[in-house]
Amino acid sequence: MNGLNAVFKREFAAYFATPLAYIFIAVFVAVSVLFAVHFGQIIELNKADLQSFFQFHPFLYVVFIPALGMKIWSEDFKTGTYEILFSLPVSNITLIIGKYLAGLAVIGLTLLFCVPLWVAINILGNVDNGVVAAGFLGSFLMAAAFLAVTLAISAVSNSQIVVFVLSCFVCFVFVAMGMPVVLNSITLLFGEGARGFATIFSIADYFDLFSRGFIPLNGIIFFISFIAFWLGLGLVVILGKRGVLK
């Protein structure tokens, strides 16, 4: 992929050219630790694991990931810099992957800043590090899935607020599909079959398995397919904007 490295470097640097990435990392780490301590009672439970830290990630990501990714395409469309990108001798896929990987790198960096918590519980007790590692992997995959959603939606509108709100909503839908209250409502309205169908798309359910130490194959396949689908959708939107789809 010609130019992928250049696009990645440009996009990654752009996160740190403004306070965005710094604020994102600092606030996410602070809020997730605060939630784990205050609501998850990580200290009171006296358990040497990070489940009470991970359990809030689906809800945090519903807000945090769209906030990070809302500018991916929308800013280029608003300022006109998309004309520079589209006139370069690089493919649409290269642009999408480069932008996506840059956002992913910021997410990876953010989770790295959560590693001291992992170290801390190792000091406090006997930890099953495999379980914690699976939790971090699941958390990363879930964030990657939400970033793909945000990227696709950011290709639709040049308003970052619109992108943020729509992305939060879509991400929340995929989290909510695992909630008993939502599943019961689906069963009531559409029957058992619909409930089973909704469960397939419950991101929170897949993530729950990871946070309990499993690395389920269906979970991996789900996340990869989910990401590929949304990135593909983003590509379709870009191709549509460029008049390639007739």
70 touches another protein (CB under 8 A) = no
In the complex, what is the shortest distance from the CB of residue 104 to another protein, in angstroms, rounded to a whole number? 19
Please choose, out of 12-20, 48-56, 171-179, 191-199, the segment that lies near another protein by the rule CB under 8 A.
Answer: 12-20
**Single residue of 80, 126, 189, 217 touching another protein by CB under 8 A:** 80
> At its nearest, how many Å lie between another protein and the CB of residue 81?
5
Binding of residue 244 to another protein (CB under 8 A): yes
* Region of 2-10, 63-71, 162-170, 202-210 interacting with another protein (CB under 8 A): 2-10
CA atoms of 117 and 99, how far apart (whole Å): 29
Residues 82-111 that bind another protein (CB under 8 A): 82-84, 86-91
Q: Under a CB-based contact definition with an 8 Å cutoff, are residues 134 and 214 in contact?
A: yes
Q: How many other CB atoms sit within 10 Å of the CB of residue 100?
A: 23
Separation CA 237–CA 230 (nearest Å): 11
CB 139 within 8 A of CB 45: no
Smallest gap, in angstroms, from Cβ of residue 229 to another protein?
24
- Binding window for another protein (CB under 8 A); candidates: 3-11, 141-149, 176-184, 205-213: 3-11
Residue 10 or residue 212: which is nearer to another protein going by CB? 10
Q: Where are the alpha helices (DSSP H) in the chain?
A: 4-17, 20-38, 51-54, 57-69, 74-79, 82-87, 92-112, 115-124, 129-154, 160-176, 180-190, 192-200, 203-211, 217-241
Burial 186-223 (b: 16+ CB within 10 A, else e): beeeeeeeebeebeeebbbbbbbebbebeeeeebeebb
Token code pair at residue 83: 């004309």
Closer residue to another protein, CB minimum distance, 5 or 122? 5
Measured from the CB atom, the residue of 87 and 126 that comes closer to another protein is 87
Question: Interface with another protein by CB under 8 A: which range of 76-84, 143-151, 159-167, 173-181?
Answer: 76-84
CB of 239 to another protein, least distance (A): 9
Q: Any contact of residue 81 with another protein (CB under 8 A)?
A: yes
Site string for another protein, 13-42 (x = CB under 8 A): xx--xx------------------------
Q: What's CA 155's distance to the chain center, in Å?
A: 16
Cβ count within 10 A of residue 88: 13
At 239 the three-state DSSP class reads helix
81/184 with CB nearer another protein: 81
Q: Which residues bind another protein (CB under 8 A)?
A: 2-3, 5-7, 9-10, 13-14, 17-18, 79-84, 86-91, 242-244, 246
